[in-house]
Each structure stands twice: as C-alpha cells, then as structure tokens.
Homo-oligomer: A and B are copies of this chain.
Amino acid sequence: MTPLITLTTDFGAGSPYVAAMKGAILQVNPAVQLLDLSHRLPPQDLRACSFFLRTAIPYFPAGPLHVIVVDPGVGTDRSLLYIEAGPHRLLAPDNGCWTELASTVQGSLKLITLAERRFWRAAVSATFHGRDILAPVAGHLSLGVKPEQLGPPAKQWVELKLPEHRSNDSLIEGEILFIDEFGNLLTNIPADVYQNCRSRIKEVLVGGEAVGIQALTYGEAPSGELIILVSSSGMMEIAQVQGSAARRLGAGVGMPIHIYL
C-alpha cells in the first residue's frame, strides 16, 4: 500500500512554504501519498494546534505519518521529535503542540530526538525546519528507515499547560478553548461533567450573557437561539442555531464560562 503522509501547519492555506514542504518530501520519496489536514492553524498558536490534533488524529487508523509544523521556536535549541502515541505516528517540534493527543490515546509513548543529519536536507535554513528537516525525515520514514535510526530516544517532552475547568457544588467554571468556522464555541468542560449536572443547572453564563436552551443537536431549537450541547469532540459546546455564537456573543478563546448549579 502507498505510504501516506499528512500535513498540518500554520503556514496559511495558500502558502508557498506548504508547497515547498510537499516538494521536499517527494524529493526523498516520489511515490508517497500526501494528505492535507490543515494549513490554517492560527499562527504559532500551540493551544489551537493541541486542540486540532486531539480532535482529528484519534479518528485515523495506524499507518499514516502525521507531520506537524507549528514552530515558533524554529532555529532555537528546541528539539524536533519523532513520536509514537498509541497507534499514531507524528513528526513535530518539541513544544507541546500534541499535549492533548498524548492524554487521549491508549498505549505507550515512544519518543526519538531527530539528530541524524544524513536524513535532513544538505542545507538546513535557520527558519524553515519543516522543509529542511521534518519533510525529508518523513520521506525517509516512508521508505522504511527505522525511527531508531533518526537519533537517540528522548526521555521527556515539553508539555503544554492547558486551562482546566474547576468545579464545586454550586459552580462549574471553564473557558472557551476553540472557535470553529461556524462560530461554535468549544469549551474545556468535558461532556461528562456537563451531562452529570445538566438537571441541576440554574444558569449558564458565557462572558456574562445567559444561554438558556439545552439541546442534543443544532436543529432542535428555533433559528437564532443560543444553545448548549455536547460537541462531537466530547466537550460542552455553545452554538447559535443557523448562526455564529462567536459573533453573537463577541466571544474569543479564553472567555470564561460559568455554570451555576
């Protein structure tokens, strides 16, 4: 079967850097299949990248190699890693961009620090390790190079500090983690926390504004209403029926959510 390499970056959807990375992979293995996951992650936003990978990668089978380039520290002494997280294989900077994926997958972790320059491009720029290191390493892996040939095992990895929800008998406090392109607000309150208290909710405030309707899906309430539901990624979500909750509430990442019980 043709090996598959996926690409996830913050380069922008039409960036020449994405195209150059594709070329650099094909330069090593012209027979590989390439698959775009996203090139529109918010620039240098590690939290958004972590959310993205947690939402997408668990649905993939074992097999593909996922190349991740959100890399504000490019050219500094941050490491580049080969990662096996359960059945999933990644190449990514060691900056925490895969933190949530690590906590959702079953099975052990394997980490290798990319160090063997013979699998890199001959000339490595200071500002584009995606093209000059990750892309050729991905190509070599797809040709059968063993991860252990890429460098020494890494004993630890940089973990992202993510905002956690807090709760007591009368209040659950969380915040907005991610806003999708429909303007739906994904929170850091897990589905089970929300569902366990559903029947006892007195009021839900999003940045101070009350959201009244609890629903199972978008089509359950009249057009324009704000609703609370469980997102397809397993979190509490705020949405506006046939509209954008983000625009309606002027919401941004980090805006607080209060559930009064």
Contacts and interface: CB of A to CB of B under 8 A. Distances in A.
A248 interface: no
Contacts of A242: 44, 72
Contacts of A39: 13-14
Contacts of A11: 180-181
A117 interface: no
A34 interface: yes
A248 to B, nearest CB: 14
A31 B63 CA distance: 10
Given A52-B19, A180-B17, A181-B15, A127 B232 contact: yes
A59 B27 contact: yes
Interface of A: 1-2, 4, 6, 8, 11-24, 26-27, 30-31, 33-41, 43-44, 51-52, 55-61, 63-64, 72-76, 78, 125-128, 131-132, 180-182, 216-220, 229-233, 237, 242
B13 A40 contact: yes
Contacts of A64: 26
Given A75-B219, A219-B72, A19 B24 contact: no
A13 B14 contact: yes
Nearest to A11: B181
Contacts of A6: 19, 22
Nearest to A72: B242
Contacts of A182: 12, 43-44
A127 B218 contact: yes
A66 B232 CA distance: 23
Contacts of A40: 12-14
Given A15-B180, A40-B13, A181-B15, A230 B126 contact: yes
A125 B231 CA distance: 8
Contact of A35 (B34, B216, B231): B34
